[in-house]
Structure 1
Amino acid sequence: MAKESGSVDRLRPSLRPVRAGNGFEEALEQILQVVRLGLVPDGGRLPAERELAELLGISRVTLRDVLKVLQEQGLVESRRGRYGGTFVLTRTDSPGEAELRRRLAAVDLEDVLRLREVLETGAAGLCATHGLTDEGAERLRTALAATHEAPLPDYRRRDTLLHLALAELSGSPSLAAQYAAVRATVNDLLDCIPLLVRNLEHSQHQHTALVEAVLDGDPEASRAAMREHCAGTAALLRGFLA
């Protein structure tokens, strides 16, 4: 029989209720950190789904989506039966681990994430405050529609083009140039983590709310929508890479 991880109480300092806006992403971040920090040892069992869901403040449906991602990444496995549950697997370096470590060594992850949030929320607020021309509004709508129509392999490119459009429409060439540079770094990091359908669907809802707020000329709602969107991406990057 596999060794036990112990009571859920052992994990309480590391697991906390997630915020409503990015429940899936933040729950995934927290459980990834528990696994990657070795708080549950190789071969150890995670707490029962009911306990984990209650601790994180999410539904069991959302938790199962999170556990599915961990299984697909080879970090845990699900076993049935009397001694069943979700067990942490022994992790071995893949051929891409060296490249991942090289990329991370050259980047201050928290600095990149904070700068991205400042630039993106600023651009969204400026677009909403000063308004867009008819041409600018149509460019933004077209970029949004392109993300909705994107096949999975092309999603990140079209997502980047939407965010670049917002930065360029802000009216500040300096902001747009700074954002282009930081987005290139963000994309390098995103290339190190998997595309998650649940996250992409959520991102699309956030994109739509963001563009609607900008076109409505509501800077506060635009900044809030962008801030929440950036937080979701940050949670995934911290979970997989921090």
Structure 2
Amino acid sequence: MSLPNDPLDPALAALFRPVRAGNALEETMERMLQAIRLGVVPPGGQLPPERELSSRLGVSRVTLREALRALQESGHVESRRGRYGGTFVRVPSSDPLPAPDRDAIEDTLTLRYALETGAAELAAARSLPPATRRHLRGCLADASAAGIDHYRRTDSRLHLAIAEATATPSLTAALADVRTRLNALLAAIPLIPANLTHSNAQHKTIIDAILDGDATAARAAMAEHLAGTAALLRGFLA
């Protein structure tokens, strides 16, 4: 059997391929979690060295280390020092939690994509009144300033504010429903500071596009933002 860090291992090569630049951290974590869940790197097995992983995935060592740190905190890998050190996949507990329903995850993510990209596009296409513009900026500021304990609440409020800016109550209600489902999934994965920083930057891009009236850019920015969250959820849960 090939070693996990064997450069000729076809399964390793298939999973550890270059990620897209827009959500590099989230997709890096998704690829490594896939390798762990599929057994490409088995329990107790060693991940490839950082230099090789960063090269294969096409990400910086800083991004890779942030991803590995998050996987250590979530209990998926452990770091060992010394001559035979490295990053190793942790052996799972004897009583694992039941796996979430993959179809339910994909249903939530697909519905969210349809609703939120559409909401961003519609909000940008409207002539927004001053009060709505102030509200969007305020929700953005709240999410950007929120600590880990309050982040998901302020994040939810910002996304709902975008829906409210469409002046379409049924769309806001539908988005509130899917956000409730999404938050139940997010509660099952760790909050990762580097991901929150990235999300805040993406939030600003989305809000800027909406306030500038650029519907195409708003939709594209929202799509990229949602792809990052989807990558994390699929990596941890699917």
> Residue 115 of structure 2 aligns to which amino acid in structure 1?
L
Whether the aligned pair in 1 keeps the contact of 2:120 and 2:162 (CA below 8 Å) is: yes
Q: TM-score, normalised by structure 2?
A: 0.93
Looking at structure 2, the residues matched to 227 and 4 of structure 1 have their Cα atoms a distance apart, in angstroms, of 37
Q: Does 1:227 align with 2:227?
A: no
Match for residue 241 of structure 1?
A: 237
Identity of aligned residues (%): 53
Matches within 5 A, 1:45-84: 45-84=46-85
Are residue 175 (structure 1) and residue 171 (structure 2) matched? yes
CA distance in 2 between counterparts of 1:94 and 1:233 reads 27
| CA RMSD, 1 decimal | 1.7
Cα distance in 1 for residues equivalent to 2:178 and 2:33: 25
Given that residues 131 and 215 in structure 1 are in contact (C-alpha distance below 8 angstroms), is that contact kept between their aligned partners in structure 2?
no
SS of corresponding position for 2:213:
coil
Structure 2 segments unaligned to the other structure (5+ residues): none
CA contact (8 A) 2:26 2:231 kept: yes
Question: What per-residue deviation string (whole Å, max 9, x for no partner) do you get for residues 74-115 of structure 1?
Answer: 2212223332221111011678x25xx4xx349611121111
The residue aligned with 2:145 is 149
Aligned to 2:93: 92
- By how many angstroms is 1:61 displaced? 1.2
For the residues of structure 2 that align with 1:4 and 1:115, how far apart are their CA atoms? 40
CA contact (8 A) 2:5 2:49 kept: no
**C-alpha spacing 1:9/1:232, structure 2 compared with 1 (3 Å):** same
Give deviations 1:189-225, integer Å, cap 9, x for gaps: 0000011000000000001111111000000110111
The total of aligned residue pairs comes to 235
Please point out which of 84, 101, 123 is paired with 2:119: 123
Distance 1:59 1:106 in 2: 31
Q: Which residue of 1 aligns with 2:195?
A: 199
- Using the alignment, how far apart are the partners of 1:14 and 1:40 within structure 2? 11
- Distance in 2, matches of 1:147 and 1:6, equals 40
1:89-147 per-residue CA deviation (whole Å, 9 max, x = no partner) reads: 1011678x25xx4xx34961112111101111101111111121111101111111111
C-alpha deviations, 1:137-166, integer Å up to 9, x for none? Answer: 011111111112212111101100110011
**Unaligned stretches of 5+ in structure 1?**
none
In the other structure, the counterpart of 1:216 is 212
Q: CA deviation at 1:73?
A: 1.6
**What TM-score do you get using the length of structure 1 for normalisation?**
0.92
The 1:173/1:75 distance shift into structure 2, 3 A limit, reads same
Q: CA deviation at 1:178?
A: 1.1
